[in-house]
Chain A
């Protein structure tokens, strides 16, 4: 398959128009840009078109978007052919992109590819006859820490091996929704052996007294609410150390807490809680 080339005529649909809902969204996107600069909306609109059209971008869709933005069609072709994330030919319902760039390759992306081949009979660039699956090889997707990995449609599946890839494909084929992210159960991009440094919570200025990592999720959330109280406690501590500098320290402690309040959301709360134990550098304000 030539890079960026359009699909053959036989695969091209006769026409393309946005659904009413997408058209409304497209209008919103276009309205973000000043008049005369509508062509800035080209990239999001092409993406919208691709999502509407089974994850690929037919010529008619590029023409349609260009017409919507009042630009020559070639300007849309240029952008669409530049970005590999736009699929110019039909892809499977599950579009598997196997990363084979160096870090993934070192960690066994060849096994992953072999698993795909053995399980589906598809080499990179191939598509299953029923259109359920298609596979390509891609360059780095930016999840090297959890290599090797694949992207299926919008989701990343990480920490793969031959067996895990096989079970992933089976799950996809069976219509299940496999767990997104690491397939070994590790959190985010935690070190494989668990936390190895910064374990002493006492090192953290303004950190909670006990590491939160061991708490269940529900508790973590309620802990967030409790945090202002702890901050107060910290403040008292700070006052003990340098009673004459109480006010600036208080302000800083509050700032630190408000940061924490913004950050957490269910999925990664624990990971973040761990990160919060990191010691803060001594406040410059202390030297004032």
Chain B
């Protein structure tokens, strides 16, 4: 534990701490550009110079490890002069275009030039100009502004695992880029915009849209995958302008995926802003009263067993609870939150959670991925696996689609057969798993959302038990969800009650006329032709698949427009906050359900969100303990049976479009045409 003195204050730090970090622990701000906590240290910007006793020159504090007895001064004439000098050099080739730069107002260079720079320039020569690069539809470049901190190069290389950026040329001609024109293919590329300390890499969809000081910032939760990334939604007026990551060490660290970041323009398109009722085969705008009347009329005389409800992938827990209780009031036990038919057992929590937790991945030493493509299904989980892989000593085996995950994997096989072989010990990877101290198994929806899902789940469980994945202080069994609402729904018991029908049963019933009314709460992943002649009520925010089939549309709120609780794949409840109001006549979902229950005379017992949450805390106490994970008890789940030989396929066919919001996003459509390529199959409303 080296002990050193910084500005006259003694401090003891952990070995290997850099002087800059030690200064930070004391609350002393050291300016920097190239240094980033999560990246390697190149020490090339020289902005963090401080004075060290017995050193003839100022030292770069980011790269200097603390030594015992060091005496550091950060507030001397020498340091000030060094900073001014460095800043002057950095500004020599930096254009003075802050008024037209998107980084203006949140620019490290701007801020530090104000705080530590010189107030005039002595440079009268021509500045250099650098040709723009085309890095694809998400990142706009202005390479003349680049100060060569190389953060983007290191991010692409280390965190994203797509080493496509580099510094080419030398000296005055050095340029940061891809050398050969190409779009960045990483799903984490948006983070380059955040880590760029200047305006060289900015957001293309957001270009010239807003200034940071005009924006209203709301700290909330992402719902476009099941990771529950912590985000900040920046809105101006009623419009979401952009989405940025928020620090949560145990979930997304400080990164988010491109879908989370750039799909927000989908919140403005294809929106349902008023109720619709289908008359003579056509949807006609209607008032709330008319819409409710149409449903109530249809409900009249229907038995509970003829009514069903399906919850979609983006629903908050509050509205799912309200719908569940409305269904109970109507006498129906036909409800399901697993619209893809995933064979998850709501009774055994350990069987549907990511038990190891995302942060726990860093302790694993062997990972078996079954039927999942984490890079597309849960980008942040994949980034964590890569982080663990970079530390060394991790072997990863994959059963399912053989895809490049950004780290070395052993492709063991494509389907359930390999899983059986492995469990029987007939596979080289079985030894690796058996030897590992902290082995992990990740089962994706590609393995569970199929007719033999329960058997696959049982096989995975038995493999987990065979290889000792579950120990006293370690649970290596993990289910990787793709839907933000799924775990919340399972925790709330949004599953068929006694004698009730599940997703498959509801769809069968709708086809053969046994189910006459289906209430879709944002359920958009089911083909329109599968509801037969049933009367479909669609409550949701986008005119997507569900709305196309609907007989009555009730306009709800998207995740940025309501306060809601979401439980991520680890079982971590988090609260999303309202950033803007729902458009037009759209309302928060639980309010719609509450109002409708009143209309049909079965009033739900809550009048405010607080009351509803209080009620939810009683029904599912875990959902009230925000940001806390309750470890699940290991018990039997799944149903052993015959498994189909068909290979596992990831439910995410195209990373950029997985849900109604990203399907409506023009940016995501551009990503597909420019990054994925023209020939790639498109999904959703695109065709």
Contacts and interface: CB of A to CB of B under 8 A. Distances in A.
A81 B179 contact: yes
A74 B164 contact: yes
A75 interface: yes
A4 B163 contact: no
A6 B180 contact: yes
Interface string A185-224: 0000000000000000000000000000000000000000
A81 B167 CA distance: 9
A35 to B, nearest CB: 15
A270 interface: no
A77 B163 CA distance: 12
B173 interface: yes
A37 to B, nearest CB: 16
Contacts of A6: 179-180
A75 B169 contact: no
A19 to B, nearest CB: 25
A94 interface: no
A82 interface: yes
A78 interface: yes
Interface string B140-172: 000000000000000001000001111111100
A74 B165 contact: yes
B178 interface: yes
B153 to A, nearest CB: 9
B254 to A, nearest CB: 24
B163 A81 contact: no
Contact of B173 (A4, A59, A77): A4
Nearest to A81: B168
Contact of B163 (A2, A3, A75): A75
Contacts of B179: 6, 74, 77-78, 81
Contact of A3 (B157, B173, B178): B173
A48 B170 CA distance: 22
A59 B179 CA distance: 10
A6 B182 CA distance: 14
Nearest to A78: B166
A131 interface: no
A198 B138 CA distance: 71
A72 B186 CA distance: 14
A2 B131 CA distance: 10
B230 to A, nearest CB: 31
Contact of B169 (A4, A72, A74): A4
Contacts of A75: 163, 166
A72 B406 CA distance: 12
A82 B169 contact: yes
Given A6-B179, A6-B180, A77 B164 contact: no
Nearest to B157: A72
B180 A4 contact: no
Contacts of B173: 2-4
Contacts of B178: 74
Interface in A67-105: 72, 74-75, 77-78, 81-82
Interface string A1-31: 0111010000000000000000000000000
Contacts of B131: 2
Contact of A77 (B157, B168, B170): B168
12 contacts: A3-B173, A4-B168, A4-B170, A4-B173, A6-B180, A72-B163, A74-B163, A74-B166, A74-B178, A74-B179, A77-B166, A78-B166
Interface of B: 131, 157, 163-170, 173, 178-180
Closest 6 CB pairs of A and B: A72-B163, A74-B166, A81-B168, A4-B169, A77-B179, A3-B173
